[in-house]
Structure 1
Amino acid sequence: MRNWGSWGVLFGVCISIAAVQAAPLRPLQLGDLQQLREVSEPEFSPEGNWVAYAVKRPDFAADENDSDIWMSRWDGSEKLRLTTSSASEHTPRWSPDGRYLGFLADRPDKTDDKDDKDQGDQLWLLNRTGGEAEKITSFKGGVVDYVWSPDSRKLALIVEDPDPQVEEETVEIQTNPTAGDSKKNVQLKKTKTPKPIVIDRFQFKQDEDGYLVHRRKHLYLFDLATRQAMLLTPGDYDERLPAWSPDSKQIVFVSKRRAEADRDNNWDLYLIEAKAGAKPRQLTDFAGPDNDPDYESRPAWSPDGRQIAYLQGGPLKLIGYAVHALAVIPAAGGTPRLLSANLDRNVQHPSWSADGRSIRFIVEDDRTGYLASVPVAGGAISPLTSGRQMVEEFSAATSGRIAIVASTASTLPEVFALEGGKQLPLSRQNDDWLATVQLAPVSEIDFPSKDGTVIHGFLVKPPGYQSGRKYPALLRIHGGPVGQFGNSFSFEWQWLAANGYAVVAANPRGSSGRGEVFSKAIYADWGHLDAQDVLAAVDYAVAGGIADPERLGIGGWSYGGMLTNYTIAQDRRFKAAISGASIANILSGYGTDQYIRDYETELSTPWRNLEGWMKISFPFFHADRIATPTLFLCGEKDFNVPLLNSEQMYQALRSLGLDTQLVIYPGQHHGISKPSYRRDRLERYVAWYDRFLKSKTTGTTASR
């Protein structure tokens, strides 16, 4: 077998640490955005000696994000970069026989016809014996997901239907007509005209996907030897998250294979034989989401092929507020068993031990995430990692070795080898940069809300913080609402702190990480208890002598922007607000965003519960209560919380004569991804807060 070093450049030249004099740390700058490396998707080689992973970075020259495939030896002695193209390569997965490393990428191949381009990612293979990567699929709609069969002969693919094809029309255009023969002045021009969009689905919009029509994601069987693909699941359904049985004969996947499936989130597991003409068999029938694809957590077969581990959600009426539990069901069918029923925490990514006696998985806890294990027969859940960190992903080799991706408040996500409870760093993508900058200290805080409920959060003090000095302070609010601020690196917090601000962040009721009761406390009652909770965070910072009560700002994105709107509509202490991708008139969301199921489940329809809809729309219908200058921002193509909602609030505050501004990012969806726009957004954050919270003689702005 050829040495892996022939694939790329070996990094990690040894130097004498004693010969290098440590340079003084410098303030964080906005240009440091280009230094960030996001490490994800760890994947063990079959023999367990290498871990492949993806590294994403912003390319400001091209104004795009670029991702490449890397790998590290288990002992951390070698790090190899395997791809270097300008296209993004991601989702590395080894063939079980160790011959290939697959990945997904949307990049051209020398055999591609320039007039016959694919619309999305395709599957590529790197041969372990050497050579260039080979593109092995050419689906018009692109490959969304893939998994190798245990015998390495086939792959299960999730392939998206192509966008509706455009019709080519020939149009006669008359130019410079004269009194003579005008036909000589007629030109023929071919134009691409999109077909009309015909809508007949209950949910017809999805951020980034656009109008859904009937473009579906199907399960295909791909034969490696013949390079031929066969459609296994035709029909007007979506299939997601396939997983092979150990004997390579069956595939379990997630789907909603029934009429009007858009009306609820009731996903189920299905089994299908990996052969032509096979029919899916429904495995689960729980009245709730079994393995909700939004969790990106694949079902897992036991080594003997008799059982399947997966995630069971809560009842449909609780929608996103429900806790997802670890469940096991016989592959032949039967009653599932819940192995984490008493945990009251969300779990993800089940993985069986080689002997089939236990299952490892990730637990989302209060401001942390950790790897845990539970006996399949039932019993206590045992943590495998510790510390105030966020374990985000992991990969386990058959030898028992485990690699994790973890981050803290002061370190970005990196790959670690987990041995004997200790974490050995493997990727080190951000070490050099972090060694040069002075980061702001981040601490966990706990404080009582108005009704006595203890709320948890974080406090970020500016670098060089001086005790006894009061700082302009910013309340930052997370999205969701079901989500949380955890012990992971936030460039936004660090950038705001570097500009002289204290940052306070809370996990109010509605957040995850503290159980289902805490999460569902704001059900159909947004902007009430959660607003009290985030205001209590500000009270904590003021009472502690850190925040200047006369120089307070507030802001957030998505639900963080919504809760900003709710808060400034009932409390006037804030001198500046930033509301990103938000909504205040909830009525305007009905039929214009992607949350139709959630609305009708949580609030019913507007004509049946107008009072309830109006209650949670008070920031718009009582906009005259707002006195805070507010900056609104949104992506032009956001179908999650569409631009029209920010436009409405901007117009309302403009009508009221308040200082306000609306910033629209062209071509962007709910998440602002283009590097130049991400930088612009952070610049605007500081400029807006500085304008209202800093006088000419107070505070300074870090270099940008």
Structure 2
Amino acid sequence: MRGLHLGALLALVVTAPVLARPIGLDDLARLKTVGAPAIDPAGEWVAYTVGSVDVAKDRSETHIWMSRWDGTRSVQLTARRGESESTPRFSPDGLTIAFISSRADEKERDRLWLMSRDGGEARVSADLAGSVVDYAWSPDSKRIALIVADPDPAAASNAAAQGAVPQPPRPGDPETPGVQPEAKAEGAGASKDREERPKPIVIDRFHFKQDIDGYLGKQRQRLMLLDLATGTAHRMTSGDFDEHMPVFSPDGSRIAFVSNRDADPDRSFNFDLFTVAASARGAEPNKVTRFAGADNDPDTDSYPAWSPDGKQIAYLQGGPDELVYFGMRTLAVAPADGGPARLLTGRLDRNVSNPVWSADGKSIRLIVEDDGIQWLGRVPATGGAVTPVSNGRRVIETIVAGGKGRTAVQMTDPMRPSEIYALEGGNLRPLSRQNEAWLKDVTLAPVSETRAKSADGTEVGGFLTRAAGASGPQPALLRIHGGPTSQYDMRFMFEWQLFAANGYAVIASNPRGSTGRGLDYAKAIFAAWGSVDVPDVLAAVDDAVARGIADPARLGVGGWSYGGMLTNYVIASDTRFKAATSGASISNVLAGYGTDQYIREYELELGKPWETPETWMRVSYPFFQNQKIVTPTLFLVGQQDWNVPLIATEQMYQALKSRGVDTQMIIYPGEHHGLKRPSFVRDRLQRYLDWYAARLK
């Protein structure tokens, strides 16, 4: 260095590349969320949504972008600050883009907006009393089928009808119940007070509450038809039922949709496929499917698909009701006029989704959920083996078709957040590049797949994430997914990367109860939560310890929803963990009956508590045997969570606190089961880091 001239030294400083940095909490606000792709009829552009975080306003926004098929240009179509748009779809004539947004609506209704492809301001398609939930263009671009939610008649007078939870009283607040304010004189003000008094909430439904929606009244989702020339809409069907997922037939004469029309839909998951004439008003729809279970359950977000000739409809047939969410989703094809359905993937023993017909009607492409991945496959319309269309250990999340026979997919892998890709042959070419610059700025930890043997010899798959170059035993975190009928797979996981950047080996396991391994693997914990899934996740930890990756003296565990529940089962079964985080969990399952949204699932899987008390007690052992728990545990929950309500977390916190176990409870005001406020999402991750660091490092 002594002989190096100053000029040369400056040149080195100027030209040295900027080194990538470890991922941090601030990157939450830099990460973009991409989804909802749609291809235009000419096959030249792909629209999609991009979600981002406004840190100053502490909110998330979603706007619509569009990229050319050749990848040469991307443009942002909507950009109103403080507003969001979703579900972009091109009109079949290619002149208009529609989307759903509550922008500029004082009643906070979601309305359907139309925007010209040539530019200009979007306009509301129709002023409807309720909120638009979903929609579908007619082939001639002159009509739009709408799913519209009834307005809540009590919303203006009683916020509780929408699920609002009363806030704790504030001392000295004259509006607080129980604190007598100064008497008001009779007159206009007093009359106004009487008009705004809340009304009683009348409950008479079996399934009477739902997270986010709150208490359920008589409001339904209706199928309506909007005439764009007149701006008027009318209801198409009769009956008092919820309707979902409208899709026009290729000739525009009929609309297919999904509905549960049992005598009491609250007591079953018996969704069926129906059709109705596009000219109908208050008609009785034609029932296409008759399987005693879920035909195209709307929760799958997988739409039925008409064959090109309009004679058949492809859809997902679920399992029987008695298997609740453990059943497999199989691709089925039924005559559009009704009749026996054919199961095309019945022997596959894997969940499938997103059927898309080929232009000639001879085959159907679909997404197959497999062990740790989701791959794109093709099956003959007459039946046969499902063959891969694209290869690779990754996750295909969505597939859409458009003009010129072009296909786009939404894809992610452990080193790339979701983006939109053009599918050409079996190859994927990037179309959106929303996270490209951010990825160049950070160093991500490699993710590897693992296999471990459970106590009974069952092979359990999973993933291991640790910083590049890490060696020797590290403090390690067992992270457990929710569901339980879901899986960890080859997708980008910000949480894993953050933990790895902070010096942890991250162990993620897919125990029995997970999907991706077939029906028997999934239903192994039917009415037996916290049974074989406990040794399964522990086997992944044992494997990491045996390989010299995890330090057995510095182990943590945690998860959210069922991941939090299984965390509770684990720490009630094994004392090796020095720290746990249990999010939105329940352990006294008896307390869930009638207080959360799972009444149908409970009675189908566990039975009625007074008829099968032994089953309910068996799955409640972390609460009733909490004396076995010694692990310091951080409990977290949304205050308005009606999926797994606050009471369930409070009970476990209180039990451990009563016994003097190191514990703390974090309640997020105004939040439901899935946290939405960006500052709370960040806070949760920071608390994870702090809790683990104080006890493992």
Letter of the aligned partner of 2:647 in structure 1? L
SS of residue in 2 equivalent to 1:314: strand
Separation in structure 2 between the aligned mates of residue 591 and residue 237 of structure 1, nearest angstrom: 23
Aligned to 2:678: 675
Partner Cα distance (1:351, 1:177) in 2: 66
State the secondary structure of the residue aligned to 2:437.
helix
* Residues 176 and 409 (structure 1), Cα distance of their counterparts in 2 relative to 1, 3 Å cut: closer
Which residue of structure 1 aligns with residue 91 of structure 2?
95
* Partners of 1:166 and 1:405 in 2: CA distance: 37
Distance across 2 between alignment mates of 1:623 and 1:74: 57
One-letter amino acid matched to 1:623: N
Deviation at 1:234, TM superposition (A): 4.5
Sort the Cα spacing of 1:517 and 1:189 in 2 relative to 1 into closer, same or farther, 3 A. same
> 1:246 is matched with which residue?
250
Residue type at the aligned position of 1:315: P
Aligned to 1:150: 139
Q: Residue 449 of structure 1 contacts residue 532 of structure 1 at CA under 8 Å; is this kept in 2?
A: yes
Asked if the contact 2:157–2:199 (Cα under 8 Å) also holds between the matched residues in 1, the reply is no
Out of 516, 519, 540, which is 1:516 matched to? 519
TM-score of the superposition, structure 1-length normalised? 0.91
> Are positions 1:269 and 2:265 aligned together?
no
Q: Deviations over 1:501-557 (max 9, x none)?
A: 111010000000111110001111110100010000110110011111000000000
Structure 1 partner of 2:128:
139
Q: Secondary structure at the match of 1:42?
A: strand
TM-score between the two structures when normalised by the length of structure 2: 0.92
Partner of 1:124: 113
1:166 Cα deviation from its structure 2 partner: 5.2
Match of 2:399 among 394, 398, 420: 394
CA 1:306–1:257: 2 relative to 1, 3 Å: same
Work out whether 1:283 is the aligned partner of 2:288: yes
Contact 1:264 1:597 in 2 (8 A): yes
Q: Find the counterpart in structure 2 of residue 5 from structure 1.
A: none
Post-superposition Cα deviations, 1:583-618, rounded to whole Å, max 9, x if no partner, equal 000100111111111111111111111111101100
Task: Report what 1:328 is aligned to.
Answer: 333
Quick check: 1:303–1:352 contact (8 Å CA) kept in 2? yes
- Give how far 1:20 is off: 8.2
Equivalent in the alignment of 2:667: 664
* Cα distance in 1 for residues equivalent to 2:246 and 2:254: 10
> Equivalent of 1:357, from 362, 374, 392?
362
Residues 478 and 556, structure 1, Cα contact 8 Å, conserved in 2: yes
- Alignment partner, residue 205 of structure 1: 209
In structure 2, give the amino acid aligned to 1:389. R
* CA 1:20–1:47: 2 relative to 1, 3 Å: farther
Question: Where do residues 41-52 of structure 1 align in structure 2 (5 Å cutoff)?
Answer: 41-52=36-47
User: Equivalent residue for 1:66?
Assistant: 61
Deviates more, 1:378-387 or 1:684-693: 378-387
Structure-2 separation of matches of 1:659 and 1:627: 8
Secondary structure in structure 2 of the residue aligned to 1:435: helix
Which residue number corresponds to residue 641 of structure 1?
644
Q: How does 1:270-349 map to 2 (within 5 A)?
A: 270-275=274-279, 276-349=281-354
Matched, 1:107 2:103: yes
Letter in 1 for 2:249: S
Report the 3-state secondary structure (helix = DSSP H, G, I; strand = E; otherwise coil) of the residue aligned with 2:293: coil
The separation in 1 between residues aligned to 2:30 and 2:278, in whole angstroms, is: 45
Instruction: Give the C-alpha shift of residue 463 in structure 1.
Output: 4.1
Question: Paired residue for 1:431, among 418, 436, 446?
Answer: 436
Preserved CA contact (<8 Å) 1:167 1:195: no
Q: What are the within-5 Å matches in structure 2 for residues 415-494 of structure 1? A: 415-466=420-471, 469-494=472-497
Once the two structures are superposed, residues 649-675 of structure 1 have per-residue CA deviations (whole angstroms, 9 ceiling, x without a partner) of 000000000110110001111001110
Q: Secondary structure at the match of 1:193?
A: coil
CA contact (8 A) 2:237 2:282 kept: no
CA distance 1:654–1:325, change in 2 (3 Å): same
Of the candidates 53, 56, 61, which is equivalent to residue 51 of structure 2? 56
Structure 1 residues 417 and 167, CA gap change in structure 2 (3 angstroms): closer
Distance 1:576 1:21, change over 3 A: same
For residue 38 of structure 1, what is the amino acid of its counterpart?
A: T
Pairing of 1:204-223 with structure 2 (within 5 A): 204-223=208-227
Of 473-482 and 134-143, more deviation after overlay is shown by 134-143
Distance change >3 Å, CA 185–CA 234, structure 1 → 2: closer
Contact 1:119–1:141 under 8 Å retained in 2: no
Q: How many residues align?
A: 662
Letter in 2 for 1:92: P
Choose the corresponding residue for 2:557, options 544, 554, 558. Answer: 554
Counterparts in 2 of 1:544 and 1:177: CA distance versus 1, 3 Å: closer
Unpaired segments of 5 or more residues in structure 1? 1-18, 695-704
Report if aligned partners of 1:405, 1:413 keep a CA contact under 8 Å in 2: yes
For the residues of structure 2 that align with 1:388 and 1:435, how far apart are their CA atoms?
22
- Secondary structure, counterpart of 1:289 in structure 2: strand
Cα 1:526–1:177 shift into 2, 3 Å: closer
> In the TM superposition, what is the alpha-carbon distance from 1:360 to its structure 2 partner?
1.1
Q: Is the 8 A contact 1:302 1:352 kept in 2?
A: yes
Pick the aligned partner of 1:32 from 11, 16, 27: 27
Structure 2 counterpart of 1:368: 373
Shift of 1:138: 2.7
Q: Are the counterparts in 2 of residues 174 and 186 from structure 1 also a CA contact under 8 Å?
A: no
> One-letter code of the match for 1:91?
T
Shift of 1:167: 6.7
SS of the aligned residue for 2:28 comes to helix
Aligned residue number for residue 3 of structure 1 = none
Between 22-31 and 220-229, report the one with greater CA deviation.
22-31
Give the aligned partner of residue 170 of structure 2: none
Rounded to whole Å, the distance in 2 between the matches of 1:135 and 1:20 is 53
C-alpha deviation, 1:162, in angstroms: 1.1
Q: What SS class does the counterpart of residue 549 from structure 1 fall into?
A: strand
CA 1:184–1:641 in 2, change beyond 3 Å: closer, same or farther? closer
Q: What amino acid does structure 2 have at the position aligned with 1:97?
A: D
By how many angstroms is 1:306 displaced?
0.4
Q: Contact 1:119–1:162 (CA<8 Å) still a contact in 2?
A: no
Counterpart residue identity of residue 590, structure 1? Y
Q: Which residue identity is paired with 2:73? A: E
Counterpart in 1 of 2:9?
none
Residue in 1 aligned with 2:167?
Answer: none
Deviation for aligned residue 1:131: 1.6
- Letter paired with 2:148: V
- Residue 259 to residue 99, structure 1, CA distance change in 2 (3 Å): same
Q: How many Å separate the matches in 2 of 1:474 and 1:639?
A: 28
The aligned amino acid for 2:516 is: G
Q: What are the superposed Cα offsets for residues 378-429 of structure 1, whole Å, 9 maximum, x if unpaired?
A: 2221211111110001111242211111000010000111112111111010
Query: What is residue 413 of structure 1 aligned with on the other side?
Result: 418
Alignment correspondent of 1:7: none
| Shift in alpha-carbon separation, 1:522–1:167, aligned structure 2, 3 A | closer
The one-character-per-residue Cα deviations of 1:121-171 (angstroms, maximum 9, x if unpaired) are 1111111233211111333331000000111110110011112235769xx
Report the AA paired with residue 66 of structure 1: E
Q: Give the match's secondary structure for 1:663.
A: strand
C-alpha displacement of 1:343: 0.9
Q: Cα 1:21–1:404, aligned 2, differ >3 Å: closer, same or farther?
A: farther
Structure-to-structure mapping, 1:581-660, within 5 angstroms: 581-660=584-663
Q: Which residue of 2 aligns with 1:4?
A: none
Counterpart residue type for residue 65 of structure 1: S
Aligned partner letter, 2:146: L
Residue 277 of structure 1 deviates from its aligned partner by 3.8
1:237 aligns with 2:241: yes
- Checking the alignment, whether the CA contact within 8 Å between 1:463 and 1:498 is kept in structure 2 is no
Match of 2:197 in 1: 193
Q: Alpha-carbon deviation of 1:347?
A: 0.7
Distance 1:319 1:508 in 2: 19
The 2-side partners of 1:38 and 1:679 are apart by 16
Instruction: Evaluate the alpha carbon distance shift between residue 564 and residue 183 of structure 1 in structure 2; reply closer, same or farther with a 3 A threshold.
Output: closer
CA contact (8 A) 2:238 2:283 kept: no
1:629–1:659: 8 Å Cα contact kept in structure 2?
yes
